[in-house]
Amino acid sequence: MKPFRLAIFASGSGSNAEAIMKFFEHHAIIEVALIISNKENAGVIEKAKQFDVKSLLINKEAFYQSRAVLQILQSHGISHIVLAGFLLLVPDYLIKAYPDKIINIHPSLLPKFGGKGMYGMHVHRAVITAKENESGLTIHLVNEHFDDGEILLQVKCAIETNDSAETLAKKVLQLEHKHYPRVIADWVGHS
């Protein structure tokens, strides 16, 4: 068992989770030990299987009303939590149990286009509608508010006049796959 064990929380297709599992597959001290999803048909469940990583489905009500998820994390020896397209607000009991040990990626230059309801394509559509000339990604620590903790990295990309929400999403996602795994490695290494 490696000294640092990550749980990835994801609700969607899981392309970031995949990039992270690939990056840490043969890492010396960090491993992805668990995938947690709140969506039954999320692509991330299939990706976990491909990497032989255990996955677990959680129920939204139970997530907020009981501490079963915390017990599961502890029983798996999870040291750090990585949010990768996870759409639920992290409950206080998890933030208290993992202080500065929960990280998130957001597909805009926070604080712009962040907050409740701002996720995935909603973000990119809002950025295009606002006629921004740049967007990008933000990697930050998680606190009790949506998209609000200490920022560890922002990476920008230009928006061309012919960009749509879809082409912008692709550009930002590519940057996410490139930067998120190495930022996680640095963060875990310094914690």
Q: Which stretch binds ligand GAR (CB under 6 A): 21-29, 58-66, 117-125, 151-159?
A: 117-125
For the record, the structure tokens of 151 come out as 């920022």
181 is an interface residue for ligand GAR by CB under 6 A: no
Of residues 68 and 88, the one with the C-beta less far from ligand GAR: 88
Does residue 173 touch ligand GAR according to CB under 6 A? yes
106 is a contact residue toward ligand GAR (CB under 6 A): yes
The label of the residue with tokens 């029983």 reads 75
Q: Smallest Cα–Cα separation from 42: which of 25, 73, 75, 18?
A: 18
Judge contact between 80 and 4, C-beta under 8 A: yes
> Which residues have CB under 8 Å from 131's CB, separation 6+?
none
Q: Between 101 and 179, whose beta carbon lies closer to ligand GAR?
A: 179
Q: Which residues of 162-181 are buried (b: 16+ CB within 10 A; e: fewer)?
A: ebeeeebbebbbebbeebbb
Binding to ligand GAR (CB under 6 A): which residues in 17-76?
Answer: none
Nearer to ligand GAR among residue 67 and residue 132 (C-beta)? 132
Q: How far apart are CA 45 and CA 23, in angstroms?
A: 18
- In sequence order, the β-bridge partners of residue 156 are 136
In the stretch 123-162, what mask flags binding to ligand GAR with x, by CB under 6 A? x---------------------------------------
CB of 81 to ligand GAR, least distance (A): 14
**Candidate list 26, 27, 80, 106, residue with the active-site label:** 106
Query: Which residues, in sequence order, are CB contacts of 184 under 8 Å at separation 6+?
Result: 6, 20, 23, 30, 80, 82, 103
- Number of residue whose CB is nearest ligand GAR: 85
Where in the sequence numbering do the catalytic residues fall? Answer: 106
